[in-house]
Amino acid sequence: MTSVLSWLQKNADAKIAPRVKNMTDKTILVTGGAGFIGMHLCRSLLQAGNRVISLDNYFTGLKENHVEGVEYFEGSTKDVSAIISVKPDLVFHLGEYSRTEESFNDFEVVWDSNIVGTHAVLEFCRTHNAKIVYAGSSTKFADEGAGRDQSPYAWTKATNTDQVRNYGAWFNLPYAITYFYNVYGPGELATKYGTVIAIFKKLYEEGKPLTVREPGTQRRHFTHIDDIVRGLMFVGEHGQGDEYGLGSEESFSIMEVAQMFGASVKMIPNRQGNRMNTEVDYSKAMNEFGWRAEHSLKEYIENITRAHKR
């Protein structure tokens, strides 16, 4: 079994290691626990020796993602207090609507999930005095800060970081806010709610051109799921406050990513809300836990193309 301590001993500077202990023997609620990130997080939390409970409405979560030993509940986060009767020590709140461009078409769903649902989760945490680790969105920092208002998704996520901080100030609620940067890895969706790496992978394996939205120069910091989960485990145990950026220092344009696959490319029109650039600041996670992204997007894609040669 893998624990936080073993990860740290393998990945962090020796001078930082004594400051981090195992996160074990806790009761932990993961909202969105049947989703891509939630599945991997639930598995790692369980392996570290915790009782893990998932609440998911299965909008994008899948029952195939269930991890044996995790307790699963189906329902909306806005009903969390009625569904979850146990008192958790810690809540990882991942269960929100999480697609930028599609959020213009799904505004009612976005509002219900990201505004109403997250407020209910915060009240649940306040009632139980449970620490919340909120999965903020890096869209907040895109295009020199303009990204926070570029889509319903980005605006609701940025608004929720303000709400989480205020709950900490108003009600002394323990919290930590993380920001993910374009997470990829096993278990991604390749649907309209999927990630660009998963969509490119699916198109490549089907022998189709990779569809790149104009202009193709928009840059992203792609971060492997294992790096994200490792960061979440650290933040869950010891993180306090805002600004836990979890992203790879490397960035690539969407066109550069498509070219890594070595496939033909088909340009398609840009969509509203598609940000051009964003910057990663992982210094807080690095300084406190020795965290930095260790996986390479190029190697990940090379493994895909090696396994499915055209």
pLDDT at 145: 62
- The pair of structure tokens assigned to 157 is 């996520």
Task: Count CB neighbours of 222 within 10 A.
Answer: 25
Mean pLDDT along residues 46-57: 98
d(CA 126, CA 150): 31
Place of tokens 């936080």: 4
| Per-residue pLDDT tens digits for 65-115 | 999 999 999 999 999 999 999 999 999 999 999 888 899 999 999 999 999
pLDDT at 100: 87
Cβ pair 174, 217 in contact under 8 A: no
Cβ pair 122, 173 in contact under 8 A: yes
- The pair of structure tokens assigned to 226 is 């294992």
Is CATH 3.40.50.720 the classification given to domain 4-184+223-249+279-294?
A: yes
| Per-residue pLDDT tens digits for 276-307 | 777 889 999 999 999 999 999 999 999 999 99
Query: Is the pLDDT confidence value at 248 over 70?
Result: yes
d(CA 169, CA 305): 49
Cβ pair 98, 154 in contact under 8 A: no
pLDDT at 146: 64
Cβ pair 247, 280 in contact under 8 A: yes
pLDDT at 300: 98
Q: Which residues are bridge partners to 137 per DSSP?
A: 180
Query: Is the pLDDT confidence value at 140 over 90?
Result: no
- Strands 219-220 and 175-180 come out as unpaired
Q: Which residues are bridge partners to 54 per DSSP?
A: 30, 72
At residue 128, φ and ψ (nearest 5 deg) are: -100, 0
Query: Is the pLDDT confidence value at 6 over 60?
Result: no
The pLDDT-based confidence of 39 (bands split at 50, 70, 90) is very high
- The pair of structure tokens assigned to 232 is 């979440």
Cβ pair 204, 272 in contact under 8 A: no
AA letter at 86:
V
- The pair of structure tokens assigned to 237 is 């145990």
- Strands 252-253 and 219-220 come out as antiparallel
The pLDDT-based confidence of 193 (bands split at 50, 70, 90) is confident
Place of tokens 């709140």: 93
Q: In which element (H, E) is residue 127 found?
A: helix 118-128
d(CA 83, CA 151): 31
pLDDT at 22: 58
Q: Which residues are bridge partners to 211 per DSSP?
A: 266
What distance lies between CA 182 and its chain's CA centroid?
Answer: 8
d(CA 253, CA 256): 5
- Please give the angle made by the CA atoms of 56, 62 and 67, to the nearest 5 degrees: 85
Mean pLDDT along residues 207-225: 95
**Coil, strand, or helix at residue 55?**
strand
Query: Is the pLDDT confidence value at 235 over 90?
Result: yes
**Residue 82 burial by Cβ neighbours in a 10 Å radius (0-12, 13-18, 19+):** exposed
Query: To the nearest 10°, the Cα dihedral for 301, 304, 305, 310?
Result: -140
